[in-house]
Structure 1
Amino acid sequence: MNIERYLIAHRQGTPGQIFRLLRQGRVTVDDLVVDSPRTDVTGDQQVRVDGVAVTGRQPQYLVFNKPVGFALNLEPTGQRSLGSLLNPLDQPRSLKALADLPQAAVGLVLASDDEHFLTDVAQQNWRSTLQIVLAGLTAPKLPTNSAFQAVTSQTDKVRQTTTVSITTTDVLAGVRTLNDLANANEPVVRTQLGPFVLPVDLAVGTYRGLFASEIDALNGPLDPKTE
């Protein structure tokens, strides 16, 4: 069996992730780095990813709908933290969050026990979509900021509200700007990060695992010239 099929069979990631693991030199067979997916491996050889035997490495990839006022700490004992939302099966994992959403905001937060995944996602410098709901039908004028793209507003005449959205790579500045607007009905919410949209059926204070296609999309291309 070649190493690519071996790693897929042992649930080491999506095919795209396994290609990335090999290209990044993170896979060893009998302590030798393997970078070709066609390399043959037998059952009596020692296969490791990031120094961990494949039988002990089954990484977790999660998306949270973070409540307002909750910190991004994943320790299960942390009060008002993402860790306090974990079920018993996920509590033993050494999870970390992609730490870029302040406590004042709610919405999409990624977490994983695969630090390389979090690093790869951060390096994509994805834009976030942030929005806030304001009372009234008058769209406010936001201060000029070169980091803000696609500033839009949409009125709801039935509810008598205006939803203001911005797309930006500067999440902290975006949250501060929207929070400073008058007549806010709700906290700022992140609804999208790059290609990933917060699932509409993911209630505030809950989380789920990422699908393989979502993981690959968030990782982005390993080498834009060849992929």
Structure 2
Amino acid sequence: MRLDKVIEQQLNTSRKEMKRLFQQGKVLVDQRIERRPERNVDSALHQIMVAGRQLETQERYYIVNKPNGVVTANLDQQHQTVIDLIAPRDQHPDLYAVGRLDRDTEGLVLVTTNGQLGYDLLHPSKKVTKRYEVVVNDLVTPEDVVAFATGITFHGGVTCKPADLTIIDARVDRSFASLEIAEGKFHQVKKMFLARGKKVIQLKRTAMGSLVLPDDLAVGSYRSLTQEELKGLAAHFR
């Protein structure tokens, strides 16, 4: 959560009062004076002291294994959403899914109340990587690997950043591969393979930055991030 929002919520300060707190050096994060109101903080990672008072945050972070058919939206009149997968006891009005997966794509989705974290993870300048398991209806070749590493150009002329394609099992009528990309264009993975004359028939996201989909997390299930997983996101709390 933004530091100024934490202070506003817990100390009920006016904008003028908050500005004075920062100017007077009375806002400390991990015992260091912090002058950036936009700083993203979480008391699970930081000690937040304002005018001698320690503040606590109550952010929620869930890693979800999204099933095929579920949409990554807060509300949808026709389809179940990833927010619907969260049990009533864990719901919160500020929960939202970070980024999007197509309705027919499975795998890792981060659901959180920390809007600032989501913004940082998705910002192009951060170059947060996403890893996918991909099944296509054709033979994936070493030439495809080179093309992905060079930068695939869509039929419309848009060129993607270089991507890391790894062949796991290649057959004439079906191939299994792993793909890592550092951007998030609309339907990007499907369009990349389509540009090589291949159709994606199954897609699953297995990692986003430091977050990795746990092997024991069943499809349609979720759990809170562990402290270690949260620490892995610490670079986005600056």
- Specify the TM-score bucket, using the shorter chain as the normaliser: 0.5 to 0.7
The Cα of 1:125 is off from its aligned counterpart by: 2.7
Aligned to 2:88: 88
Identity, % of aligned pairs?
21
The Cα of 1:79 is off from its aligned counterpart by: 3.2
Aligned to 1:169: 182
The Cα of 1:94 is off from its aligned counterpart by: 2.2
- 1:51-200 equivalent positions in 2, closer than 5 A: 54=56, 57-75=57-75, 79-123=79-123, 124-134=126-136, 138-140=139-141, 142=144, 144-145=151-152, 146-155=160-169, 162-171=175-184, 172=186, 173-178=188-193, 182=198, 186-200=201-215
Give me the TM-score of the superposition, normalised by structure 2.
Answer: 0.63
CA contact (8 A) 1:127 1:169 kept: yes
Letter in structure 2 aligned against 1:127: T
Aligned to 1:202: 217
Letter in structure 2 aligned against 1:111: V
How big is each residue's C-alpha offset from its partner over 1:97-144, in whole Å with a ceiling of 9 and x where there is no partner?
1123222321111110111221232233311112212467x4245455
Equivalents in 1 of 2:29, 2:100: separation in Å?
35
CA contact (8 A) 1:132 1:164 kept: yes
The secondary structure found in structure 2 opposite 1:187 is strand
The secondary structure found in structure 1 opposite 2:169 is strand
Give me the TM-score of the superposition, normalised by structure 1.
Answer: 0.66
1:35 aligns with 2:49: no
What is the Cα-based RMSD across aligned positions, in Å? 3.6
134 and 79 in structure 1: CA distance in 2 versus 1, 3 angstrom threshold: closer
Letter in structure 2 aligned against 1:87: A
Which ranges of structure 2 fall in alignment gaps of 5 or more residues? Answer: 14-20, 33-46, 153-159
Equivalents in 1 of 2:237, 2:84: separation in Å?
34
CA contact (8 A) 2:134 2:179 kept: no
Equivalents in 2 of 1:41, 1:198: separation in Å?
30
How big is each residue's C-alpha offset from its partner over 1:50-102, in whole Å with a ceiling of 9 and x where there is no partner?
xxxx4xx4110011111123211234987321122121112344201112322
Equivalents in 2 of 1:60, 1:91: separation in Å?
9
CA contact (8 A) 2:128 2:183 kept: no
Letter in structure 1 aligned against 2:161: A
Equivalents in 2 of 1:41, 1:161: separation in Å?
53
The secondary structure found in structure 1 opposite 2:175 is strand
